[in-house]
Chain A
């Protein structure tokens, strides 16, 4: 067989080293967790309850997210209207929204003192009780309804337009179209979407921390945190972490077996050529679906802005210090994530390495940040006080967590850049930094900016590892906000939430915009 005259580049070599580092950073903490777990004395009744609650809330969250997403996706697929693009953009917003901010917004609408409870009071009805299972499920639906909608919308838009034309020529009614096109598509798409959301909800920590708790509403991740912070029982935390890994592994394997749905959003701005007659009933259905979904997503944020805007200036100094710390950590985390992802993307441009590097990149998110945090704590604890490394460890783990998203954005663009200009670069002898500067980076500016924005926003809103490691003097803005909520300083918490919301969106916008401005290809 012919040799491809393509020596491994320095960047791809660095990528191999980074992939090994990422693998070690995931597997070593996991190993530490497994070793320590052997000392634990089996499952208690509370642990069984946590497992049951984790599975139940994940199943309910996935079920309602998918159920509600179907009419919204259908409406978006068959209606073209002014503002459609804005609605689809709104569907992507929760991805960069800090969990604690969203929960604060949901409390402002659905909490005991929220709009909805006040409205119910007018009719003499009792206020909504948001804490517990239904609050956790509500928050998860808030985060995952948009994801489910986008994934199912992809399924709708993937139905070839010729089929709708054929249906029209054959005189299909709307119910015929449902039966022959839409239901088969949903049967193929929905199970994968359900499993993705189920998996995401099993690792959700911050929502359960704020809206759950107590013996009847504790997830496994929350139980790990409680074993750490309240009991300092590291063996039990490790044992629970092993259970968490088991749940994620089973869900992940089922997801891979069932084939994960593709993509997070390209090509959603077109409409299907669904030329079946559109009745008034269908119009009302679509308006209601889109209107209610948009209100459900926008109202909490609107309530947060209106409720918090007057409290921002009066925020205590500690909040501003935490905000500055969070910004620095988010920027460092984004830089570190890019530093990991770019060489790994260079390695992924080679077919033989692609799958392996992709799996390594996704491991961190599959294992869950809290489990990695637990493992790192166990490794560091005998040597030093882990709280001294709270901030660097949080930056590092946050960078790991954003790696799968960055690789998804960077790897195809890197491959495309190599395909389109790699041979020219070879012919001109462009290697190393010169190759990166002239042939690759100019074509990577958009995904780099987008990826860095995602990494920064995710880090900005993180309330996972920092909750395990931090001391009172090292809090980040989400942690400070959680403390304000815990001490019932609701006004300050709302003001802090608004600052956090603004900073997260601003960081995402600045990075994303920076990439677009410098993009040349």
Chain B
């Protein structure tokens, strides 16, 4: 589904080197200390940054130089996922049409996505009238209507309280399972990774120091993950 083939990218004194191969439906947590290259890696996959060397494949297609919106993926940022001047309905609709011109089929998908994310009947509300959790759900509903097979999560739970974090993780887990979505999540918290992912990559100074399944990780205590255990 997602393949990073000998990707290298240099920014000043920092160099990211990554080889990743994820099957469809896989869920990868990317961890590492600040400045280790987690967000840079996500930006390469998303297309915000173009690598100096190597290739990025999505669904078997070489997208190394493709612009962000042409890649078969959706992104959830830590914050700034919502346009505050648009209603919930329009925020979700933007996922399908930047000009907000929707055909009938597209219009019918919005209430469905809102229902799936627990926002039934809230389409006319403005973001300012929603709680933080509800705003996160709006962004999730947009991911659903975009219907892209890969979802990138850039520390999506960092600003949420523990209760809300768990609630969002359960919702994301359900939605990803239903739609067989592949998921790459950058996080600082191993517990977040365990709630949602099955694999983990640990980055150290731009290099992948560890890549393995999350099962049994607390017993094995791999050295690269010790700071998070």
- A contact residues vs B (CB 8 Å cutoff): 1-5, 7, 420-421, 423-424, 426-431, 434-435, 438-439, 442, 520-521
Name the one of A3, A428, A521 contacting B50, with C-beta atoms under 8 angstroms: A3
Among A1, A429, A430, find the residue whose CB has the most chain B CB atoms closer than 10 A: A429
Known interface pairs A427-B68, A429-B68, A429-B69. Does A1 touch B52 (Cβ–Cβ under 8 Å)? yes
Q: Are B81 and A3 in contact (CB under 8 A)?
A: no
Nearest-neighbour CB distance to chain B for A144, whole angstroms, equals 39
Q: List A contacts of B85 (CB < 8 A).
A: 438, 442, 520-521
Q: List B contacts of A420 (CB < 8 A).
A: 80
Q: Is B58 an interface residue (CB 8 A)?
A: no
Q: Is B98 an interface residue (CB 8 A)?
A: yes
Nearest-neighbour CB distance to chain A for B11, whole angstroms, equals 6
* Bound: A4/B49 CA distance, A: 5
Nearest-neighbour CB distance to chain A for B68, whole angstroms, equals 5
Q: Is B222 an interface residue (CB 8 A)?
A: no
Q: List B contacts of A5 (CB < 8 A).
A: 47-50, 67-68
* Bound: A435/B98 CA distance, A: 8
Q: Are B98 and A434 in contact (CB under 8 A)?
A: yes
A430 and chain B: residue at smallest CB distance: B98
Q: List A contacts of B50 (CB < 8 A).
A: 2-5
* Bound: A430/B67 CA distance, A: 12
* Bound: A273/B69 CA distance, A: 51
Q: Are B98 and A2 in contact (CB under 8 A)?
A: no
Q: Is B131 an interface residue (CB 8 A)?
A: no
A-B contact pairs, 24 of them (CB 8 A): A1-B10, A2-B10, A2-B11, A2-B51, A5-B47, A5-B50, A5-B67, A421-B80, A423-B77, A424-B77, A424-B81, A424-B83, A426-B69, A427-B69, A428-B98, A429-B68, A429-B69, A429-B98, A430-B98, A438-B86, A438-B94, A438-B98, A442-B85, A521-B84
Q: Are B83 and A3 in contact (CB under 8 A)?
A: no
- B contact residues vs A (CB 8 Å cutoff): 9-11, 46-52, 67-70, 74-75, 77, 80-81, 83-86, 94-95, 98-99
* Bound: A7/B66 CA distance, A: 12
Known interface pairs A2-B9, A2-B10. Does A442 touch B83 (Cβ–Cβ under 8 Å)? yes
A521 and chain B: residue at smallest CB distance: B84
* Bound: A5/B84 CA distance, A: 26
Q: Are A431 and B75 in contact (CB under 8 A)?
A: no
Q: List A contacts of B83 (CB < 8 A).
A: 421, 424, 438-439, 442
Name the one of A426, A438, A439 contacting B68, with C-beta atoms under 8 angstroms: A426
Nearest-neighbour CB distance to chain B for A386, whole angstroms, equals 45
Name the one of B11, B51, B69, B80 contacting A428, with C-beta atoms under 8 angstroms: B69
Name the one of A423, A434, A520 contacting B48, with C-beta atoms under 8 angstroms: A423
B79 and chain A: residue at smallest CB distance: A420
A426 and chain B: residue at smallest CB distance: B68
Nearest-neighbour CB distance to chain A for B60, whole angstroms, equals 21
Known interface pairs A5-B67, A421-B80, A520-B85. Does A427 touch B46 (Cβ–Cβ under 8 Å)? yes
* Bound: A427/B95 CA distance, A: 9
Q: List A contacts of B99 (CB < 8 A).
A: 434
Known interface pairs A421-B83, A520-B84. Does A427 touch B10 (Cβ–Cβ under 8 Å)? no
Name the one of A1, A2, A430 contacting B94, with C-beta atoms under 8 angstroms: A430
Nearest-neighbour CB distance to chain B for A266, whole angstroms, equals 22
* Bound: A429/B50 CA distance, A: 17
Q: List B contacts of A426 (CB < 8 A).
A: 48, 68-69
Q: Are B49 and A424 in contact (CB under 8 A)?
A: no
Q: List B contacts of A521 (CB < 8 A).
A: 84-85
* Bound: A2/B68 CA distance, A: 16
Q: Are A2 and B49 in contact (CB under 8 A)?
A: yes
Q: List A contacts of B95 (CB < 8 A).
A: 428
Among A5, A7, A442, find the residue whose CB has the most chain B CB atoms closer than 10 A: A5
Nearest-neighbour CB distance to chain A for B125, whole angstroms, equals 14
* Bound: A3/B67 CA distance, A: 12
Among B48, B81, B98, find the residue whose CB has the most chain A CB atoms closer than 10 A: B98
* Bound: A431/B49 CA distance, A: 18
* Bound: A521/B128 CA distance, A: 10
* Bound: A521/B82 CA distance, A: 11
* Bound: A428/B94 CA distance, A: 7
B49 and chain A: residue at smallest CB distance: A2
Q: List A contacts of B11 (CB < 8 A).
A: 1-2
Among A2, A3, A4, A439, find the residue whose CB has the most chain B CB atoms closer than 10 A: A2
Nearest-neighbour CB distance to chain B for A6, whole angstroms, equals 8
Q: Are A424 and B80 in contact (CB under 8 A)?
A: yes
* Bound: A1/B12 CA distance, A: 7
Known interface pairs A2-B50, A442-B85, A521-B84. Does A427 touch B9 (Cβ–Cβ under 8 Å)? no
B95 and chain A: residue at smallest CB distance: A428
Q: Are B48 and A442 in contact (CB under 8 A)?
A: no
* Bound: A442/B126 CA distance, A: 14
Q: List A contacts of B84 (CB < 8 A).
A: 442, 520-521
